């Protein structure tokens, strides 16, 4: 797959921090065989895979070799790479990472109207199984809805799903969009609800109702470090939110690290994030469903 972004003139000025160079292994539980990090990214390396000229941030290189070391440290076997906005609709870095893992990895792309059916077939053959749209203001805001629906219906032919990244304050605005979705859809990062506002806040109640009543709806119980007050551990205020979702629909939840954590000021320890899943889902069988069985449904590893 050829790159779509123009090459950079080096050096690039990085505008966001990179992940921690050292992380802790999980101690709260041992991940089961075939456990999956269902939301992670690769950034570059920019010399080989240029960033988008329209990006809103410039991260340091965090490529597949760094990610493989993370997987070994956490004891995870599988991963779903989600296309990052800093690469725009050029999915070559992500596809390269998937190829490095063979059958272990899958992907979620970002595409635009320039993608032909042959391009989509190529992505499918490289284990891409969904597309993602950012509706978050600091990442450029909502897409044009006419283009959005055109792309959704095009990928529906491949039995792909759609990943939606919302700000909590905007979640209710898109009720009609969710109602009309022709394919399964995933709400990223618990709709980015601020954990300090608790489980009774309106955006979270809408999310809880959505996953409880719509079998097409999936949710990622990820990014505690973004939802918690102050963005620092131990993330206890996020636990009631995740547990409510686990109780509502344990068979339609995914978990991921969000490595390498774009646009964060304080970088989390991924071992602590994985340990937090034991608090989200204390029952081992439910936790294994989230880590193994649920990703298998969508990504057919």
Domain boundaries, the chain: 36-299
CA-to-CA dists, residue 184 to 26, 133, 156, 193, angstroms? 31, 14, 9, 21
The number of CA neighbours under 13 Å toward the Cβ of 42 is: 33
CB of 38 closer than 8 Å to CB of 108: no
The reply to whether CATH 2.40.50.100 applies to domain 36-299 is: no
- Please name the residues in contact with 90: beta carbons below 8 A apart, sequence gap of 6 or more: 3, 4, 5, 49, 50, 52
| Catalytic entry in 236, 258, 283, 293 | 258
Active site residue 90: no
pLDDT of 15: 87
Contact (CB, 8 A) for 166 and 191: yes
Contact at 8 Å (CB) between 73 and 23?
Answer: yes
Give residue 132's pLDDT.
Answer: 97
Q: Cβ contacts of residue 141 below 8 Å, gap of 6+?
A: 134, 135
Per the omega criterion (within 30 degrees of 0), is the bond before 11 cis? yes
Return the pLDDT at 1: 67
Q: Which of 70, 97, 67, 104 is nearest to 83 (CA)?
A: 97
pLDDT value of position 9: 66
Can you give the pLDDT at residue 229?
85
Q: Residue 234 phi/psi, 5° resolution? A: -95, 5
In the predicted model, residues of the chain with pLDDT beneath 50 are none
State the Cα–Cα distance between residues 13 and 242, nearest whole angstrom.
37
Name the residue among 65, 48, 55 with its Cα closest to residue 10: 48
pLDDT at 231: 80
pTM over 0.85: yes
């Amino acid at each position: 797959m050829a790159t779509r972004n123009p090459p950079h003139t080096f050096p690039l000025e990085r505008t966001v921090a990179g992940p921690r160079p050292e992380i802790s292994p999980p101690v709260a539980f041992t991940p089961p065989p075939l456990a999956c990090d269902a939301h992670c990214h690769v950034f570059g390396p920019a010399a080989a895979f240029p960033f988008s000229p329209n990006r809103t941030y410039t991260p340091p290189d965090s490529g597949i070799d760094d990610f493989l070391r993370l997987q070994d440290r956490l004891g995870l076997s599988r991963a779903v790479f989600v296309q990052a906005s800093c690469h725009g609709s050029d999915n070559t870095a992500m596809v390269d990472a998937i190829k490095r893992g063979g059958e272990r990895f899958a992907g979620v792309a970002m595409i635009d109207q320039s993608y032909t059916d042959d391009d989509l077939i190529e992505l499918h053959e490289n284990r891409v199984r969904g597309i993602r749209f950012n509706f978050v203001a600091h990442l450029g805001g909502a897409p044009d809805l006419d283009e959005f629906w055109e792309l959704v219906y095009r990928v529906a032919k491949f039995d792909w799903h759609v990943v939606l990244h919302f700000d909590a304050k905007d979640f209710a605005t898109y009720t009609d969009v969710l109602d009309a979705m022709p394919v399964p859809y995933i709400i990223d990062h618990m709709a980015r609800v601020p954990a300090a506002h608790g489980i009774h806040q309106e955006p979270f109640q809408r999310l809880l109702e959505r996953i409880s009543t719509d079998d097409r709806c999936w949710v990622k119980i990820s990014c505690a470090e973004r939802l918690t007050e102050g963005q620092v551990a131990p993330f206890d205020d996020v636990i009631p939110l995740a547990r409510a979702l686990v109780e509502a629909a344990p068979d339609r939840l995914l978990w991921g690290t969000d490595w390498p954590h774009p646009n964060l000021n304080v970088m989390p320890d991924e071992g602590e994030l994985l340990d937090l899943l034991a608090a989200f889902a204390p029952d081992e069988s439910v936790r294994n469903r989230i880590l193994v069985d649920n990703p298998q449904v969508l990504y057919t590893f």
